[in-house]
Amino acid sequence: MADLHQNLVPTIPYLRPGKRNAVVLSSEIEQTGKKVGVLIPSLYTDFSTEEMVKILGTIASTEGIHRVYIVLDRATHDEFKTALRIVKDILRGKGTVIWNDNPHLREIRQTIAREFALGRRGKGTAVWMGIGYVVGERETDVLVLHDADIKTYTAEMPLLLAYPIARLNYRFAKGFYARYGKRLYGRVVRLFYFPMIRALKIIFGYDTFLEYMGDFRYPLAGEMAGYVDVFRRLRIPSDWGMEVSILAEAYRTMRIEEMVQVQIAHRYDHKHRPGDDLRRMVTDIFKTFLVELSSRGVIFSSGVQRTIKQTYITTAKDYVDTYETISLLNGLEFNIHRELRYIEIFSDCIDEAFKEYENETVPSPRLPVWDRVESALPGTLERIVHVVKDSLSTVR
């Protein structure tokens, strides 16, 4: 029997993939009259991968998705033109490429930066700019976010995220899945996020926010959906802590009953990140927790820092024992040294996160919500839409 366990966040398993396929889901979503768009942050290198071509091709033939927004980051003008041709060839009129390095978009960001702290440019910045365009364009009701490197992509994935928003009474949806191949994947969520949540609960006791953050099956999933009106009001960080911060922002701006987590695949895989990326990711994730907890009145002394680190290490090692059991039961490879080595690396990231947190005047600045940008700088969204649409017309 499928896992039907419920805790704080409503949790929906995908029980009948054969019956509830993309055709059925698309038809029922379209009956609502709500327009679904998909936003994909990407680099130019993604366009040379099989994953990106498969994703675009799948979306092109999915009736329930009306718009696709590719946010292209850190690309030259020639690379933008190549990416745009690929998108036009595959998606036809359904696709838009938002070139983040467009000189006119850079000017707009510089203008915004004179009013607001934009922080270090990263994935969050790309998503934020994409949301700004979607808000200004006003052609999408429900927005799905996912990455460009999904190896196991199916048409059902974005539709399963959009369905609870378009058809039911939810405002925000988060995807979840199992990640494994020859061995268990998901190093950061398995060996850092889950044990860290438990460690914080041990130290600080019961806290509804920590219970909420610990209730997501795959909290670092980049796959999520919500009304455009929801995303325009979320304060998104510019760094690797985006997924965690969006969950925290959802908690701040919505009731838990308005959120849902949906199983979007029985097995999921994406392109694996190198070790340096994992260090940066873990540091930013933990720094996000420091910001969120301090905003709720928690004071972090040097003694608390040591306690968090030691409690995390002990808890993470307990998790490793469970992962070994899961691996053995399912006939998967398991390397105890590799698992424990990641715990050592991630524990060092705790020290780095505290150091960065203490040295920043305003820790981990959140990008301003678009409503406030428009209030301070009227016409900004209109200018973004004009710049993007003008750039699209330069490539035939």
CATH of the domain at 37: 3.90.550.10
Total structural domains within the chain? 1
Has residue 309 been placed in a domain? Answer: yes
Q: pTM for the complete prediction? A: 0.94
- Domain extent at residue 229: 11-392
Has residue 218 been placed in a domain? Answer: yes
Has residue 60 been placed in a domain? Answer: yes
Whole-number Å distance between alpha carbons of 396 and 393: 7
Q: Could you read off the pLDDT of 202-231 as tens digits, one per residue?
A: 999 988 999 999 999 999 999 999 999 999
Whole-number Å distance between alpha carbons of 376 and 372: 6
Strands 172-176 and 142-145: unpaired
The rounded percent of the chain whose pLDDT value lies above 70 is 96
Has residue 23 been placed in a domain? Answer: yes
Burial 95-122 (b: 16+ CB within 10 A, else e): bbbbbbebeebeebbeebeeebebbeeb
Which residues share a beta bridge with 96?
Answer: 69
Whether the per-residue pLDDT at 1 is higher than 50: the answer is: no
Confidence band of 2 (pLDDT split at 50, 70, 90):
low
Whole-number Å distance between alpha carbons of 383 and 139: 16
- Mean pLDDT over all residues of the chain? 93
Has residue 6 been placed in a domain? Answer: no
Helix axes 275-294, 336-359, angle to 10 degrees: 50
Contacting residues for 96 by C-beta, under 8 A, at least 6 apart: 67, 68, 69, 70, 87, 133, 388, 392
Has residue 345 been placed in a domain? Answer: yes
Q: Could you read off the pLDDT of 335-394 as tens digits, one per residue?
A: 999 999 999 999 999 999 999 888 875 555 689 999 999 999 999 999 999 999 999 987
Q: Could you read off the pLDDT of 150-180 as tens digits, one per residue?
A: 999 999 999 999 999 999 989 999 999 999 9
Confidence band of 28 (pLDDT split at 50, 70, 90):
very high
Has residue 3 been placed in a domain? Answer: no
Whether the per-residue pLDDT at 273 is higher than 70: the answer is: no
Q: What is the DSSP letter of 150?
A: B
| Structure tokens that stand for 21 in this block | 């396929």
Has residue 381 been placed in a domain? Answer: yes
Which residues share a beta bridge with 42?
Answer: 72
